[in-house]
A and B are shown apart, each in its own frame.
Chain A
């Protein structure tokens, strides 16, 4: 049972197409896993479309300045497009295969890199700050206690994990702000998608020395 969802404001921004790629992937993937948010987004989409495209009857003056006939001719000279069959988004890590939500289809280009039980696949989103990655933690694995300089979003795709605050299940959409310090660990292993605004800061004893690892892990 999914307990953590994106806020309505975030869903609305997603529907409007206002989020960056890294966040759009997170929200889209959550919605594919979560019927509640899927229904919400479906309604928001219809309402926003109505608002955007059907506000009032079109005013002729808008069309006068440009000759649309040539554009229309050009468009209507095109043949019908076939229905595309899009492949599933499959990913393999540590000998296990996972089928991921559709939003990941074209993102799984890179290879995994790992330290101990933690494996990461960084996505090249071309966004300046945000780092988007798939993170796989093997059974019994743990990430040292850390805080975030910015906001961290975690979407649990498979398996389980818990931290000082809660236990999480597949589909849970977890938002951590810079005040939260947490050390996630997993019993059976997990695969998640994370978006981090800025590098992590480790806060506990020896792991303070490992601060650069934050950048490597996420």
Chain B
């Protein structure tokens, strides 16, 4: 494969994972699933020797991709490297179970998936936005919809009101409540 083609692929995959991370985009996730699932299954069959276990590996790996997409850091490497790391770690733990009957999860200690969260005040912008994204999911759905609309999709309050068919006053009050709640989550986290 040409290097240029590879980097285009990598670029596309990055776009897809960002869409999953920011909007929980189901179509983007479906595309990633289609892209990686045959390879993950093949790796599973080769390492674990059973179709059933290979399917478990696929499900576990892609579940982590879905639930942790917002923690993926494109500065640290390609999407394929990240997915491979998740898969290899999961497979390592599954092999321990098959070979030694051990229910342990050491893979992520041996090959860390993410940089550690720094303790203390030195939270960078990047980590702050990670934290925000992660806490946004804890908001009540109506408030979350507005906060995401304004800050992630960058819609105006008027646009949101029109799209959702609600008065602009309601958009404003939900936004205010949502932001207050987000701030309280983050402050709690700092204590």
A interface list, Cβ under 8 A from B: 16-17, 21, 24-25, 28, 42, 45-46, 48-50, 52-56, 58-59, 62-63, 66, 68, 71-72, 74-76, 78-83, 85-86, 102-107, 126-127
Q: Is the CB of B81 within 8 A of A49?
A: yes
The minimal Cβ–Cβ distance linking A149 to chain B, given in whole angstroms, is 22
The answer to whether residues A62 and B41 also contact, given A76-B66, A80-B137 and a CB cut-off of 8 A, is yes
Measured CB to CB, the closest approach of chain A to B11, in angstroms, equals 13
Instruction: Please give the residue numbers on chain B whose beta carbons come within 8 Å of chain A beta carbons, in ascending order.
Output: 1, 6, 9, 24, 26, 29-30, 33-41, 43, 47, 55, 58-59, 62-64, 66-71, 77-78, 80-81, 83-85, 87-89, 91-92, 96, 100-102, 104-107, 109-112, 114, 116-117, 119, 130-131, 133-134, 137
Is A17 a contact partner of B92 (Cβ separation < 8 A)? yes
B33 touches A78 (CB 8 A): no
Whether A106 and B106, one on each chain, are in contact in the complex, defined by CB atoms closer than 8 angstroms, is yes
Q: Which residues of A contact B112 (CB under 8 A)?
A: 102
On chain A, the residues within 8 Å of B58 by CB distance are: 71
Number of A-B contacts (CB under 8 A): 133
Closest chain B residue to A127 by CB distance?
A: B100
Chain B contacts of A85 at CB under 8 A?
116-117, 119
Inter-subunit contact A81/B84 (CB<8 Å): no
B49 to chain A minimum Cβ distance, whole angstroms, is 14
**Across the interface, do A75 and B66 meet the contact criterion of CB distance under 8 Å?**
yes
The answer for the CA separation of A25 and B133 in the assembled complex, in Å, is 33
Q: Are A49 and B134 in contact (CB under 8 A)?
A: no
* A76-B81 Cα distance, complex, nearest whole Å: 22
Q: Measured between alpha carbons, how far is A62 from B30 in the docked complex, in Å?
A: 16
Which of B40, B66, B71, B101 is close to A78, meaning CB atoms less than 8 Å apart?
A: B66
Known: A78-B63, A106-B104. A63 touches B37 (CB 8 A): yes
> In the complex, A75→B55 CA distance in Å?
13
CB of A83 within 8 A of CB of B81, answer no
* Nearest neighbor of B58 in chain A, beta-carbon distance: A71
Q: How near does chain A come to B93, taking the closest CB pair, in angstroms?
A: 10
Nearest Cβ on chain A to B29's Cβ, whole angstroms? 6
- B62 & A75 in contact (Cβ 8 Å cutoff): yes
